[in-house]
Amino acid sequence: MTVVAYFDCFSGISGDMTLGALIDAGGERAVLDAAVEALGLGDEVTLEVRRESRGHTAGTRVLVGVEDRVERTVPALRAVVEDSDSPPPVKARSVDAINLLARVEARIHGVPEADLHLHELGGADTLVDVVGAFWLLHSLEVERVYASALPASRPGPATLGVLAGTGATLIAEDRGRELVTPTGATILATAATFARPAISLRRTGYGIGTDEAPGNALAVWIGDEVAAETGVTLIETNLDDMAPNLLAALVEDLMAAGALDVTVVPALMKKGRPGHVVTVMSPPEMVAALSDHLLRHSTTLGVRLTRTDRVIAGRRMIDVQTPFGAVRVKVKELGGRAVDVAPEYEDCRRIAGERHLDLRDVMRVVTAAARAHLELE
Protein backbone atom coordinates (compact mmCIF):
# COMPACT_ATOMS: atom_id res chain seq x y z
CA MET A 1 0.00 0.00 0.00
CA THR A 2 1.10 3.57 -0.69
CA VAL A 3 1.37 5.72 2.43
CA VAL A 4 -0.01 9.21 1.82
CA ALA A 5 -0.34 12.45 3.76
CA TYR A 6 -3.24 14.83 3.19
CA PHE A 7 -2.91 18.39 4.52
CA ASP A 8 -6.30 19.88 5.38
CA CYS A 9 -5.48 23.60 5.28
CA PHE A 10 -8.76 24.95 6.70
CA SER A 11 -6.85 27.68 8.51
CA GLY A 12 -3.92 28.00 6.13
CA ILE A 13 -0.41 26.61 6.34
CA SER A 14 3.03 27.79 7.44
CA GLY A 15 6.35 26.06 7.90
CA ASP A 16 6.07 25.71 11.68
CA MET A 17 2.44 24.51 11.44
CA THR A 18 3.61 21.81 9.03
CA LEU A 19 6.27 20.64 11.48
CA GLY A 20 3.76 20.62 14.34
CA ALA A 21 1.15 18.66 12.38
CA LEU A 22 3.63 15.97 11.32
CA ILE A 23 5.00 15.55 14.85
CA ASP A 24 1.45 15.42 16.22
CA ALA A 25 0.72 12.65 13.69
CA GLY A 26 3.57 10.50 14.96
CA GLY A 27 6.77 12.15 13.73
CA GLU A 28 9.67 12.26 16.18
CA ARG A 29 11.08 15.45 17.69
CA ALA A 30 14.48 13.82 17.19
CA VAL A 31 14.05 14.24 13.41
CA LEU A 32 14.02 18.03 13.82
CA ASP A 33 17.10 17.86 16.02
CA ALA A 34 18.79 15.76 13.35
CA ALA A 35 17.85 18.31 10.68
CA VAL A 36 19.37 21.17 12.69
CA GLU A 37 22.56 19.17 13.25
CA ALA A 38 22.79 18.03 9.61
CA LEU A 39 22.42 21.64 8.42
CA GLY A 40 25.11 22.84 10.84
CA LEU A 41 22.70 25.33 12.45
CA GLY A 42 23.16 24.36 16.09
CA ASP A 43 24.61 27.77 16.99
CA GLU A 44 21.83 29.68 15.25
CA VAL A 45 18.65 27.77 16.05
CA THR A 46 16.70 26.76 19.13
CA LEU A 47 13.73 24.39 19.01
CA GLU A 48 10.73 24.13 21.31
CA VAL A 49 7.96 21.56 20.87
CA ARG A 50 4.90 21.79 23.12
CA ARG A 51 1.17 21.14 23.32
CA GLU A 52 -1.18 24.07 22.79
CA SER A 53 -4.84 24.68 21.95
CA ARG A 54 -6.66 27.11 19.70
CA GLY A 55 -10.26 27.08 20.84
CA HIS A 56 -11.45 23.48 20.79
CA THR A 57 -8.49 22.34 18.65
CA ALA A 58 -5.47 20.93 20.47
CA GLY A 59 -2.23 19.94 18.81
CA THR A 60 1.53 20.43 18.65
CA ARG A 61 3.23 23.76 18.28
CA VAL A 62 6.82 23.99 17.06
CA LEU A 63 8.75 27.18 17.74
CA VAL A 64 11.96 27.66 15.75
CA GLY A 65 14.01 30.39 17.40
CA VAL A 66 16.95 32.11 15.71
CA GLU A 67 19.97 33.54 17.52
CA ASP A 68 21.99 36.24 15.70
CA ARG A 69 19.99 35.98 12.50
CA VAL A 70 22.07 35.45 9.35
CA GLU A 71 20.49 36.31 6.01
CA ARG A 72 21.85 34.10 3.25
CA THR A 73 21.78 34.52 -0.50
CA VAL A 74 20.04 31.84 -2.52
CA PRO A 75 23.32 30.10 -3.52
CA ALA A 76 24.30 30.08 0.17
CA LEU A 77 20.95 28.58 1.20
CA ARG A 78 21.30 25.93 -1.48
CA ALA A 79 24.87 25.16 -0.39
CA VAL A 80 23.81 24.62 3.23
CA VAL A 81 21.30 21.98 2.13
CA GLU A 82 23.54 20.34 -0.47
CA ASP A 83 26.43 20.07 2.00
CA SER A 84 24.22 18.61 4.74
CA ASP A 85 23.99 14.98 5.84
CA SER A 86 20.24 14.82 5.26
CA PRO A 87 18.84 11.77 3.42
CA PRO A 88 19.12 12.11 -0.39
CA PRO A 89 15.34 12.30 -1.02
CA VAL A 90 15.03 15.00 1.64
CA LYS A 91 17.95 16.91 0.21
CA ALA A 92 16.56 16.75 -3.34
CA ARG A 93 13.12 18.04 -2.38
CA SER A 94 14.59 20.76 -0.17
CA VAL A 95 16.76 22.04 -3.02
CA ASP A 96 13.73 21.95 -5.31
CA ALA A 97 11.83 24.09 -2.79
CA ILE A 98 14.64 26.64 -2.53
CA ASN A 99 14.93 26.81 -6.33
CA LEU A 100 11.20 27.38 -6.70
CA LEU A 101 11.09 30.14 -4.10
CA ALA A 102 14.19 31.76 -5.56
CA ARG A 103 12.80 31.76 -9.09
CA VAL A 104 9.60 33.44 -7.91
CA GLU A 105 11.35 36.03 -5.73
CA ALA A 106 13.86 36.85 -8.48
CA ARG A 107 11.00 37.51 -10.90
CA ILE A 108 9.11 39.64 -8.37
CA HIS A 109 12.10 41.80 -7.44
CA GLY A 110 13.95 41.78 -10.76
CA VAL A 111 17.19 40.64 -9.12
CA PRO A 112 19.51 37.88 -10.42
CA GLU A 113 19.29 34.76 -8.32
CA ALA A 114 22.97 34.88 -7.37
CA ASP A 115 22.44 38.30 -5.73
CA LEU A 116 19.03 37.56 -4.26
CA HIS A 117 18.47 37.84 -0.52
CA LEU A 118 15.20 36.31 0.67
CA HIS A 119 15.27 38.49 3.83
CA GLU A 120 12.89 36.90 6.36
CA LEU A 121 12.80 33.77 4.17
CA GLY A 122 16.58 33.56 3.99
CA GLY A 123 17.22 32.66 7.62
CA ALA A 124 18.00 29.44 9.43
CA ASP A 125 14.36 29.06 10.48
CA THR A 126 13.25 28.72 6.85
CA LEU A 127 15.89 26.04 6.29
CA VAL A 128 14.68 24.13 9.34
CA ASP A 129 11.03 24.45 8.26
CA VAL A 130 11.71 23.14 4.75
CA VAL A 131 14.24 20.41 5.49
CA GLY A 132 12.42 19.44 8.70
CA ALA A 133 9.09 19.05 6.89
CA PHE A 134 10.52 16.82 4.16
CA TRP A 135 12.57 14.83 6.67
CA LEU A 136 9.50 14.20 8.85
CA LEU A 137 7.53 13.04 5.79
CA HIS A 138 10.45 10.76 4.91
CA SER A 139 10.62 9.34 8.46
CA LEU A 140 6.87 8.65 8.40
CA GLU A 141 7.41 6.74 5.11
CA VAL A 142 5.00 9.03 3.28
CA GLU A 143 5.27 8.35 -0.45
CA ARG A 144 2.71 10.81 -1.76
CA VAL A 145 1.44 14.16 -0.47
CA TYR A 146 -1.93 15.77 -1.13
CA ALA A 147 -3.42 19.10 -0.03
CA SER A 148 -6.82 20.75 0.22
CA ALA A 149 -7.91 24.08 -1.20
CA LEU A 150 -6.20 27.05 0.44
CA PRO A 151 -7.85 30.07 2.09
CA ALA A 152 -6.61 33.10 0.17
CA SER A 153 -6.68 35.70 2.92
CA ARG A 154 -4.25 38.48 2.02
CA PRO A 155 -1.72 36.26 0.22
CA GLY A 156 1.61 37.91 -0.58
CA PRO A 157 3.14 38.03 -4.07
CA ALA A 158 5.63 35.27 -3.25
CA THR A 159 2.88 32.95 -2.05
CA LEU A 160 0.82 33.53 -5.19
CA GLY A 161 3.87 33.13 -7.43
CA VAL A 162 4.87 29.85 -5.81
CA LEU A 163 1.36 28.39 -6.16
CA ALA A 164 0.86 29.52 -9.78
CA GLY A 165 0.61 26.55 -12.10
CA THR A 166 0.48 23.92 -9.33
CA GLY A 167 -3.25 23.23 -9.57
CA ALA A 168 -3.87 24.79 -6.15
CA THR A 169 -7.41 26.04 -5.52
CA LEU A 170 -7.57 29.37 -3.68
CA ILE A 171 -10.72 30.31 -1.77
CA ALA A 172 -11.15 34.06 -1.55
CA GLU A 173 -11.83 35.22 2.01
CA ASP A 174 -10.48 37.81 4.42
CA ARG A 175 -9.79 36.87 8.03
CA GLY A 176 -7.63 39.90 8.62
CA ARG A 177 -4.27 38.13 8.41
CA GLU A 178 -2.08 36.11 6.08
CA LEU A 179 -3.05 32.45 6.30
CA VAL A 180 -0.73 30.86 3.76
CA THR A 181 2.93 31.83 4.17
CA PRO A 182 5.50 31.60 1.37
CA THR A 183 7.28 28.77 3.22
CA GLY A 184 4.08 26.78 3.68
CA ALA A 185 3.10 27.37 0.05
CA THR A 186 6.56 26.30 -1.15
CA ILE A 187 6.43 23.02 0.80
CA LEU A 188 3.09 22.16 -0.81
CA ALA A 189 4.06 23.38 -4.28
CA THR A 190 7.15 21.18 -4.19
CA ALA A 191 5.63 18.00 -2.79
CA ALA A 192 1.83 18.00 -3.00
CA THR A 193 -0.95 17.28 -5.44
CA PHE A 194 -3.93 19.54 -4.78
CA ALA A 195 -6.65 16.90 -4.51
CA ARG A 196 -8.36 14.83 -1.81
CA PRO A 197 -7.33 11.16 -2.02
CA ALA A 198 -9.29 8.06 -1.12
CA ILE A 199 -7.49 7.06 2.06
CA SER A 200 -7.62 4.34 4.71
CA LEU A 201 -6.81 6.48 7.73
CA ARG A 202 -4.05 5.52 10.18
CA ARG A 203 -3.72 8.68 12.26
CA THR A 204 -4.19 12.45 12.25
CA GLY A 205 -2.25 15.37 13.66
CA TYR A 206 -2.74 19.09 14.23
CA GLY A 207 -0.07 21.77 13.97
CA ILE A 208 -0.87 24.89 15.98
CA GLY A 209 -0.25 28.32 14.46
CA THR A 210 1.17 31.42 16.10
CA ASP A 211 -2.03 33.49 16.05
CA GLU A 212 -4.30 32.67 18.99
CA ALA A 213 -7.51 32.78 16.95
CA PRO A 214 -9.76 29.77 17.69
CA GLY A 215 -9.21 26.95 15.22
CA ASN A 216 -5.87 28.27 13.97
CA ALA A 217 -4.35 24.89 13.14
CA LEU A 218 -3.25 22.72 10.24
CA ALA A 219 -4.53 19.15 10.06
CA VAL A 220 -2.67 16.27 8.45
CA TRP A 221 -4.19 12.86 7.74
CA ILE A 222 -1.83 9.94 7.24
CA GLY A 223 -2.94 6.60 5.86
CA ASP A 224 -2.92 4.18 2.96
CA GLU A 225 -4.14 5.29 -0.44
CA VAL A 226 -7.09 3.15 -1.44
CA ALA A 227 -6.98 3.61 -5.21
CA ALA A 228 -4.92 5.28 -7.92
CA GLU A 229 -7.64 5.17 -10.56
CA THR A 230 -9.92 7.92 -11.78
CA GLY A 231 -12.93 7.65 -14.01
CA VAL A 232 -13.05 9.38 -17.40
CA THR A 233 -15.32 9.33 -20.43
CA LEU A 234 -14.07 8.89 -23.98
CA ILE A 235 -16.05 10.91 -26.52
CA GLU A 236 -15.47 9.59 -30.05
CA THR A 237 -16.60 10.43 -33.54
CA ASN A 238 -15.60 9.63 -37.14
CA LEU A 239 -15.00 12.48 -39.60
CA ASP A 240 -14.45 12.18 -43.34
CA ASP A 241 -15.59 15.59 -44.57
CA MET A 242 -13.68 18.13 -42.46
CA ALA A 243 -10.72 20.17 -43.71
CA PRO A 244 -7.40 19.41 -41.95
CA ASN A 245 -6.84 23.01 -40.85
CA LEU A 246 -10.30 23.09 -39.24
CA LEU A 247 -9.61 19.74 -37.58
CA ALA A 248 -6.40 21.10 -36.06
CA ALA A 249 -8.27 24.13 -34.71
CA LEU A 250 -10.95 21.82 -33.29
CA VAL A 251 -8.32 19.90 -31.29
CA GLU A 252 -6.91 23.12 -29.82
CA ASP A 253 -10.38 24.42 -28.93
CA LEU A 254 -11.37 21.14 -27.24
CA MET A 255 -8.24 21.24 -25.07
CA ALA A 256 -8.92 24.85 -24.16
CA ALA A 257 -12.52 23.90 -23.28
CA GLY A 258 -11.40 21.40 -20.64
CA ALA A 259 -10.56 18.12 -22.39
CA LEU A 260 -7.92 16.03 -20.63
CA ASP A 261 -6.56 14.89 -23.98
CA VAL A 262 -7.57 14.83 -27.66
CA THR A 263 -6.23 12.40 -30.25
CA VAL A 264 -6.82 12.17 -34.00
CA VAL A 265 -6.12 8.86 -35.79
CA PRO A 266 -6.28 8.34 -39.58
CA ALA A 267 -8.96 5.80 -40.65
CA LEU A 268 -10.46 4.31 -43.77
CA MET A 269 -14.17 5.20 -43.79
CA LYS A 270 -17.12 3.78 -45.70
CA LYS A 271 -16.82 3.66 -49.51
CA GLY A 272 -13.04 3.73 -49.09
CA ARG A 273 -12.91 7.41 -48.15
CA PRO A 274 -9.96 8.58 -45.95
CA GLY A 275 -11.05 10.09 -42.66
CA HIS A 276 -10.15 10.49 -39.00
CA VAL A 277 -11.29 9.14 -35.63
CA VAL A 278 -11.37 11.94 -33.05
CA THR A 279 -11.19 10.82 -29.40
CA VAL A 280 -11.71 13.28 -26.56
CA MET A 281 -10.81 12.25 -23.00
CA SER A 282 -13.18 14.07 -20.65
CA PRO A 283 -13.59 14.33 -16.88
CA PRO A 284 -17.13 13.27 -15.87
CA GLU A 285 -18.32 16.81 -15.21
CA MET A 286 -17.27 18.03 -18.68
CA VAL A 287 -18.88 15.34 -20.85
CA ALA A 288 -21.97 17.35 -21.75
CA ALA A 289 -20.05 20.53 -22.57
CA LEU A 290 -17.38 18.79 -24.66
CA SER A 291 -19.95 16.66 -26.52
CA ASP A 292 -21.88 19.82 -27.34
CA HIS A 293 -18.69 21.52 -28.54
CA LEU A 294 -17.84 18.57 -30.79
CA LEU A 295 -21.34 18.49 -32.27
CA ARG A 296 -21.45 22.25 -32.86
CA HIS A 297 -17.94 22.81 -34.21
CA SER A 298 -17.30 19.74 -36.34
CA THR A 299 -19.15 18.07 -39.21
CA THR A 300 -20.18 15.06 -37.12
CA LEU A 301 -23.81 14.07 -36.67
CA GLY A 302 -23.23 12.10 -33.47
CA VAL A 303 -20.69 10.98 -30.85
CA ARG A 304 -20.02 7.77 -28.92
CA LEU A 305 -19.51 7.79 -25.14
CA THR A 306 -17.44 5.17 -23.31
CA ARG A 307 -16.96 5.24 -19.55
CA THR A 308 -13.55 3.94 -18.50
CA ASP A 309 -10.91 4.17 -15.78
CA ARG A 310 -7.32 5.27 -15.98
CA VAL A 311 -4.31 4.77 -13.71
CA ILE A 312 -2.30 7.97 -13.33
CA ALA A 313 1.40 8.35 -12.60
CA GLY A 314 2.22 11.23 -10.28
CA ARG A 315 4.00 14.23 -11.70
CA ARG A 316 5.50 17.46 -10.43
CA MET A 317 7.56 20.31 -11.82
CA ILE A 318 11.01 21.15 -10.46
CA ASP A 319 13.73 23.64 -11.32
CA VAL A 320 17.09 22.01 -12.13
CA GLN A 321 20.42 23.81 -12.23
CA THR A 322 22.14 23.20 -15.58
CA PRO A 323 25.02 24.79 -17.53
CA PHE A 324 22.29 26.97 -19.08
CA GLY A 325 20.92 28.10 -15.71
CA ALA A 326 17.71 26.95 -14.01
CA VAL A 327 15.43 24.92 -16.30
CA ARG A 328 12.00 23.49 -15.51
CA VAL A 329 11.69 19.71 -15.66
CA LYS A 330 8.62 17.46 -15.29
CA VAL A 331 9.20 14.56 -12.91
CA LYS A 332 7.20 11.35 -13.36
CA GLU A 333 6.55 9.50 -10.09
CA LEU A 334 5.22 6.06 -9.20
CA GLY A 335 4.48 5.34 -5.56
CA GLY A 336 5.86 8.74 -4.65
CA ARG A 337 9.29 7.98 -6.18
CA ALA A 338 10.77 9.61 -9.26
CA VAL A 339 11.10 7.21 -12.19
CA ASP A 340 11.63 9.50 -15.20
CA VAL A 341 12.09 13.13 -16.23
CA ALA A 342 11.13 15.30 -19.19
CA PRO A 343 12.63 18.77 -19.81
CA GLU A 344 10.10 21.53 -20.30
CA TYR A 345 10.03 21.97 -24.07
CA GLU A 346 9.44 25.74 -24.12
CA ASP A 347 12.38 26.38 -21.77
CA CYS A 348 14.72 24.24 -23.89
CA ARG A 349 13.44 25.84 -27.09
CA ARG A 350 14.14 29.32 -25.69
CA ILE A 351 17.67 28.35 -24.59
CA ALA A 352 18.44 26.78 -27.95
CA GLY A 353 17.33 29.94 -29.74
CA GLU A 354 19.21 32.32 -27.44
CA ARG A 355 22.46 30.35 -27.57
CA HIS A 356 22.20 29.11 -31.16
CA LEU A 357 22.34 25.48 -30.05
CA ASP A 358 20.67 22.34 -31.35
CA LEU A 359 17.45 21.77 -29.40
CA ARG A 360 18.25 18.07 -29.08
CA ASP A 361 21.59 18.84 -27.42
CA VAL A 362 19.93 21.22 -24.94
CA MET A 363 17.33 18.63 -24.01
CA ARG A 364 20.01 15.95 -23.53
CA VAL A 365 22.02 18.18 -21.19
CA VAL A 366 18.95 19.16 -19.16
CA THR A 367 17.77 15.55 -18.94
CA ALA A 368 21.18 14.41 -17.69
CA ALA A 369 21.26 17.20 -15.08
CA ALA A 370 17.76 16.31 -13.89
CA ARG A 371 18.51 12.60 -13.61
CA ALA A 372 21.69 13.35 -11.67
CA HIS A 373 19.79 15.74 -9.40
CA LEU A 374 17.20 13.05 -8.62
CA GLU A 375 19.83 10.28 -8.53
CA LEU A 376 18.08 8.30 -11.24
CA GLU A 377 20.05 5.63 -13.09
Helices (H), 257-309: 287-297
Band (pLDDT 50/70/90 cuts) for residue 229 is: low
The helix (run of H) or strand (run of E) holding residue 256 is: helix 244-256
Band (pLDDT 50/70/90 cuts) for residue 63 is: very high
Contacts of residue 345, Cβ cutoff 8 Å, sequence gap at least 6: none
Residue 70 has pLDDT above 90, yes or no: no
Q: Whole-prediction pTM value? A: 0.66
Q: Alpha-carbon torsion 235, 236, 240, 245, what sign?
A: positive
- Report how far residue 376's alpha carbon sits from residue 331's, in angstroms, rounded to the nearest whole number: 11
Q: Which residues of 47-67 are buried (b: 16+ CB within 10 A; e: fewer)?
A: beeeebebeebebbbbebeee
Pairing mode, if any, of strands 192-193 and 144-147?
parallel
Res 185: pLDDT: 96
Q: For residue 332, give the amino acid letter.
A: K
Res 114: pLDDT: 67
Residue 248 has pLDDT above 90, yes or no: yes
Taken in order of first residue, the domains within the chain and their CATH numbers are 3-225 (no CATH), 234-311 (3.30.70.1380), 314-373 (3.10.20.300)
Band (pLDDT 50/70/90 cuts) for residue 337 is: confident
Please give the share of the chain, as a percent, with pLDDT higher than 70.
95
Q: What angle do CA 39, 29, 45 make, to 5 degrees?
A: 40
Task: Identify the weakest region by mean pLDDT among 16-20, 262-266, 372-376.
Answer: 372-376
Name the average pLDDT for the chain. Answer: 90
Residue 86 has what DSSP assignment? Answer: S
Task: Identify the weakest region by mean pLDDT among 33-47, 104-118, 202-216, 321-335.
Answer: 104-118
The helix (run of H) or strand (run of E) holding residue 252 is: helix 244-256
Residue 293, SS3 per DSSP: helix
Res 115: pLDDT: 65
Res 245: pLDDT: 92
Q: Alpha-carbon torsion 244, 249, 253, 256, what sign?
A: positive
Residue 118 has pLDDT above 70, yes or no: no
Is residue 277 within 8 A of residue 269, CB to CB? The reply is: no
pLDDT per residue over 344-366, tens digit each? 999 999 999 999 999 999 999 99
Band (pLDDT 50/70/90 cuts) for residue 266 is: very high
Res 377: pLDDT: 67
pLDDT per residue over 30-48, tens digit each? 999 999 999 999 888 999 9
Res 5: pLDDT: 97
